[in-house]
Structure 1
């Protein structure tokens, strides 16, 4: 009995080993050929370039005779001239044969407009053991532009120049220059630094970061940032970094930092009038002082004052006076010497031309008329603007009387 049990165990083990040996040789009674892309050079290949694709054929079935391998060229791939689509592989051995693996190579041209990504290529094979072709699916070649470029097509702030304490909207248009979509796009406006100083902007209603799920190939996508300028922001141009982060279809990550410009500025507000004068009556000559007051938030630069000619007066001094800079909430004066012609007008209009630039070098020209009030001589005397002639005559009379008195005394002494 014990001997029978030992013999049974030995027979069972032998059957197990025999079965294992048979399965390692073939899976049934026909060839089973597996095809894989062994390599591509370059990897990935750029659109418009040539790629060498190496396909590996493995036979996991019985012996395969007269194997023929064919690549079916479809967009975006094409066979190079002189390169045959069909290649004779010959006999493909079994798993017990060291020659069971064969490599087949093709040189393919990738279309110039090929979309980036894993592009499927169609292939098939057959052997003398089968009348029909076996088609292999899901074999792909990596196509990728040299760099998936995402750029800022344009940007604009509305208003173009924001006043301190006011809001602006920054609109940014992005363009995908790649031949495939770009995804996971993150756009960050760095409001921390502009050169060596802090930017005077803060986001309103949202953060300084925007996310776009994807942008199709050669497509545009727009986004906006709502910002507010600090109340004490200086009028100038601020260079603000704009960071772009994104991925392509092959999950390659990209990051770049660009610069956008935001302008803080406000139209200058000036006031011009006659500050002091020594000219009160028609027909007189004297000096006038014109005051220019900068009431705005922006400093003024290169300010020049010009008094135009007129038939009602003559300018005895230079027509133009260069002032230069006037800070916000400050003033300067320009002096002119005038000779007023005879006129019955109570108001004399002085045509003044003011030329200047703001803090952002925007040029301005203001043409205005400032008033010079004229009085009659009696009105001027009454108001104490000029000295009256009465006092002078009294003084002359006193002098004459005194001279006559002393002359009379001298004459009387001579007679004695």
Structure 2
């Protein structure tokens, strides 16, 4: 019986010794849960840390040992992607904790950390260091615990680029938007759309909404449209309201709204045609055949082979609305030896003869086959930029040669029938004077014969 009692005593003693050894081993390993102080994370706000945003941790500090504790200090040692927030302490203290506390009597400490804005999605370690003194000893005990915090990737997208800054009126043009996922998490079910509140710019061949199934972090996608501006739109800068919605990792819908500017209007086009040529001037019709107004229009005849301009080679005709036209006149002639051929020049003192008529005819034919006349038009477009357009005009001439030519006798003499009018008048006057003088002479001869008794041969008898 005594042996049984002694054996029982030895078994009980070994059990207590093993339990004590286990406690001592736990303390030597630094596992805070095996020591007299137990620290737990009771709350995290938000539940998943977000890049660029603070995260708040609520810690429960509980004395589970048999001794009272004092001078308890809890310190956070953050590493990337977590960092200290200005004005927030990383070390907090509890002056006293009774032994064998339950959860309701535990101390509560709150800490705030900042999450790096470029943090990638994942799980990160955070070290918590606790120091305290036991009531029965003046030695400081230090324990370390590592917890894990989950970081949700940054979910953000933006419209980085718009392909065009301006479009023409009533002309189909491409318009592209580049959408980039600037966050660190994938985005899904993106819906992109835009509107012009004034209804001037509208998409063609499709509506204004585009769908993107998935967009990885750092990836870009191009959203393309064909657009057209109303033909009656006033040139100017128009606002496009851009909207982008997407779903995050928790299937929560988020929305981004922004604006973009698009200039409507720009260059225009002209049509130039030969109008008439008379009195030493060649008139040209200049019409604005584009869809935009042209400001401060200047029409010029540049230097070119086959033609020369007497006097001013340019004229300012002012503003031209779309569909308007104006007349610009210049003293243009075929240059000597130019591509347009030689122009016959007559001296005012020498009347034209048949040889000159042949020369004039040859000159007229030569002018009809001359090179086109180059006309340069400068104007300010709807954006305020100076533009230049060059057109070619075929100068039309009649067989009598209505195009003017300039020679030593003075510029602007007509090479047509009008140049012969002075000579024809002189011939008519000279002919009239000759007939008049002949009739006077006949009357004088008749009077002399009558006075001398002279009879005309037809009055004499045979």
- TM band (smaller chain): 0.5 to 0.7
Partner residue, 2:289: 295
Partner residue, 2:40: 35
* Structure 1 residue corresponding to 2:378, chosen from 355, 364, 367: 355
Report how far residue 352 of structure 1 moved.
Answer: 2.5
The answer to whether the 8 A contact 2:167-2:229 is kept is no
> What secondary structure does 1:401 align onto?
helix
> Which structure shows the higher strand fraction?
1
Superposition pairs for residues 334-413 of structure 1, below 5 Å? 334-338=328-332, 342-343=343-344, 344=363, 345-347=366-368, 348-349=370-371, 350-361=373-384, 363-366=387-390, 368=392, 370-371=394-395, 373=397, 375=399, 389-390=423-424, 392-402=426-436, 405=439
Partner residue, 1:273: 273
Between the aligned partners of 2:74 and 2:183, the Cα distance in structure 1 is 34
Partner residue, 2:163: 156
- Go from structure 1 to structure 2 and tell me whether the alpha carbon gap of 1:220 and 1:357 turns closer, same or farther (over 3 Å shift): farther
Count of residues in Structure 1 that have an aligned counterpart in Structure 2:
359
Partner residue, 1:188: 193
Report how far residue 290 of structure 1 moved.
Answer: 1.2
Are 1:286 and 2:285 an aligned pair? no
Structure 1 unmatched ranges of 5 or more: 1-29, 279-284
Larger radius of gyration: 2
| Residue-by-residue CA offset, 1:18-72 (whole Å, 9 max, x unaligned) | xxxxxxxxxxxx999572356789x98975x99885522357x786876996756
- Go from structure 1 to structure 2 and tell me whether the alpha carbon gap of 1:244 and 1:394 turns closer, same or farther (over 3 Å shift): same
- Go from structure 1 to structure 2 and tell me whether the alpha carbon gap of 1:214 and 1:119 turns closer, same or farther (over 3 Å shift): farther
- Go from structure 1 to structure 2 and tell me whether the alpha carbon gap of 1:153 and 1:403 turns closer, same or farther (over 3 Å shift): farther
Structure 2 unmatched ranges of 5 or more: 1-34, 135-142, 337-342, 345-362, 405-413, 452-462
The answer to whether the 8 A contact 2:229-2:264 is kept is no
Root mean square deviation of aligned Cα: 5.5
Between the aligned partners of 2:75 and 2:49, the Cα distance in structure 1 is 23
Report how far residue 339 of structure 1 moved.
Answer: 5.9
The answer to whether the 8 A contact 2:400-2:416 is kept is no
The answer to whether the 8 A contact 1:315-1:336 is kept is yes
Between the aligned partners of 2:317 and 2:388, the Cα distance in structure 1 is 15
Are 1:56 and 2:60 an aligned pair? yes
Between the aligned partners of 1:64 and 1:212, the Cα distance in structure 2 is 63
Partner residue, 1:226: 225
TM-score after normalising by structure 2: 0.56
- Go from structure 1 to structure 2 and tell me whether the alpha carbon gap of 1:384 and 1:93 turns closer, same or farther (over 3 Å shift): farther
> What secondary structure does 1:371 align onto?
coil
> What secondary structure does 2:430 align onto?
helix
Between the aligned partners of 2:205 and 2:99, the Cα distance in structure 1 is 72
Partner residue, 1:175: 180
TM-score after normalising by structure 1: 0.61
> Which structure shows the higher helix fraction?
2
| Residue-by-residue CA offset, 1:252-285 (whole Å, 9 max, x unaligned) | 95543211416456x644332321112xxxxxx7
Between the aligned partners of 1:32 and 1:375, the Cα distance in structure 2 is 119
* Structure 1 residue corresponding to 2:313, chosen from 314, 319, 326: 319
Partner residue, 2:203: 202
The answer to whether the 8 A contact 2:92-2:109 is kept is no
> What secondary structure does 1:224 align onto?
strand
Between the aligned partners of 2:331 and 2:235, the Cα distance in structure 1 is 38
